Amino acid sequence: MSTAGQVIRCKAAVAWESGKPLSIEDVEVAPPKVHEVRIKVVAAGVCHTDWEYLYEAEKGMKFRPFPLVLGHEGAGIVESVGPEVTTFSPGDKVIPLFLPQCGECERCESAKTNHCRKNWANTQVGVLADGTSRISYQGQQVYQFLGVSAFSQYTVVPHTSLAKIRSDAPLDKVFLLGCGVSTGYGAAVNTAKVEKNSTCAVFGLGAVGLAAVMGCQVAGAKRIIGVDINPDKFAKAAVFGATECVNPKDHTMPIQEVLVKMTDGGVDYAVECVGSPSIMTAAFESTKDSCGSCVIAGWTETGVMNVKVEKILMGRTLRGTYFGGWKSVEDVPKLVNDYMKQKLKLDEFITHTPIYCWRVVLVCLCVRASMTEIINERTS
């Protein structure tokens, strides 16, 4: 492309400080350095983690420096590649990844985990391998949230944090596989390993929770109970496979006790998709005391979960999941293939489609809509 090797000036939604609305700015995106790829972002979603960091930094999440460009769930097209990049070419369709997969470290070679740590320490604080960001504003460095920054028209990511996908995949749909859908779906099929004819409960029916419901259905669960305080989400949950839904506000007893009573002893699998320590405890205690399994998919970095030791000793299992257990670089293209073969739902997650998908964020914030409103519109 004609812009290869040059600084690109484009629009981005910049977070200048915690708790303040994003500001649409003209930023500069530098060319990719060694082992890096610059991409044109075509579609991006607002994940709850973006909202949480902007409005609850140092509460539910660890501090990361400002100013920064949020957004870690997106899809785009390769604009140019840096030195020593051999696996990508300009024009490739790609999904940037907040979880890398170098394919060489002990963790990548292990079937037990997907937690590659290539460039991890740097991307967690918003910089790439050399300790700097590729995005700037009038000479000032602008940090890249989780090393991605999908709320910019262009961004640069490490080649180990990028999945190449098939050329006929619709970017305004498959961008959801960059975070929410992959996380929830994988929590059910990879981490919980939901079994056929089992009983499941999914706590929180946002994008992650709905994807977990879908995973339970694909795995063959016979009873899938959605739990949420917003009854407006129940019809959508049924589309993804929920057999029934429960609103904790409709009951006087704790929701875990409600579920234990409903299922005559507890569910086989519970998936927590909210990120609340108290709901994590409720999900765990809703499982069968002898063999129930609870998976925590909801994100919080600073919360403390309360677990009674007896609940573990009786035979329950408590596990966490990150990005649904998927090996990011190799598994995301497979998920795209499943969607293209109609084995995986994505269209049903999207309630509003603007002309340019990345402007889901930019346009709404220009008219002073809150990120909470945007998140609700995207059913997340």
H-helix or E-strand containing 340? helix 328-340
| Confidence at residue 60, expressed as pLDDT on a 0 to 100 scale | 61
Q: What is the pTM of this model?
A: 0.91
- Tell me, what's the pLDDT at 277? 93
> What confidence score (pLDDT) does residue 248 get?
97
Sequence ranges of the domains in the chain: 8-178+350-373, 183-322
- Give the pLDDT confidence score for residue 59 in this predicted structure: 67
Please tell me the predicted confidence (pLDDT) of residue 304: 87
Q: What is the pLDDT of residue 354?
A: 61
Give me the residues of the chain with pLDDT under 70, please: 1, 57-61, 353-380
**Architecture of the domain whose range is 8-178+350-373:** Alpha-Beta Complex (3.90)
Strand spans (E) along the chain: 8-15, 23-29, 36-44, 68-69, 74-81, 93-96, 135-137, 140-144, 154-158, 162-164, 199-203, 223-227, 244-246, 269-272, 293-296, 317-320
The predicted pLDDT at position 360 comes to 39
Helix (H, G, I), strand (E, B) or coil at 160: helix
- 15 has which bridge partners? 68
CATH (residue range 183-322): 3.40.50.720
- For the chain, how far is it from start to end, CA to CA, in angstroms? 36
Helix (H) or strand (E) holding 366, with range, is helix 359-366
**pLDDT value, residue 366:** 28
Pairing of strands 68-69, 140-144: parallel
155, 144 contact by CB (below 8 A):
yes
pLDDT, position 301: 78
- Phi and psi torsions of 238, nearest 5°: -65, -35
Same fold, 8-178+350-373 and 183-322: no
